[in-house]
Amino acid sequence: DTGVSQDPRHKITKRGQNVTFRCDPISEHNRLYWYRQTLGQGPEFLTYFQNEAQLEKSRLLSDRFSAERPKGSFSTLEIQRTEQGDSAMYLCASSHTRVWGGTTNEKLFFGSGTQLSVL
């Protein structure tokens, strides 16, 4: 396993359809993150899992979005009733933990992303 894997790489859908993306993290990483990136912006945090527990969701994650990580390994991100404003690159990342002076600092490894286009 050489990195974070995301599928599909590209998804074109019509407005109102549901889409689901998959992320396979680096195998020994217990933390998994979803980010979204739109043109001209940096990646924005959406949600985060530690093992199978979803510990935080951004206010960017509306109720049409749901993420799961059922066995603490791969994760899925589903968008229901897609809107044109959902068009973006959806990035998954995973991390291990390094300790600096008693607190943990983490280096996130990103996948290649899923580019979503909603027509």
Partner 1 sequence: DQQVKQNSPSLSVQEGRISILNCDYTNSMFDYFLWYKKYPAEGPTFLISISSIKDKNEDGRFTVFLNKSAKHLSLHIVPSQPGDSAVYFCASMEVNSGGSNYKLTFGKGTLLTVNP
Name the site residues for partner 1 (rule: CB under 8 A).
4, 6, 31, 33, 35, 40-45, 48, 56, 91, 93, 95, 97, 100-113, 115
Cα separations in angstroms, 61 against 26, 78, 97, 98: 24, 11, 25, 28
Backbone φ and ψ of 109, nearest 5° = -110, 125
Nearer to partner 1, 43 or 86 (CB): 43
Instruction: Give me the sign of the Cα torsion angle 76, 78, 54, 31.
Output: positive
> Which residue lies nearer to partner 1 by CB, 16 or 72?
72
Q: How far is the CB of 81 from partner 1 (least distance, A)?
A: 27
Nearer Cβ to partner 1 (8/16): 8
Closest among 82, 107, 111 to 97, alpha carbons compared: 107
Instruction: Give min distance, CB of 28 to partner 1, in A.
Output: 16
Nearer to partner 1, 88 or 91 (CB): 91
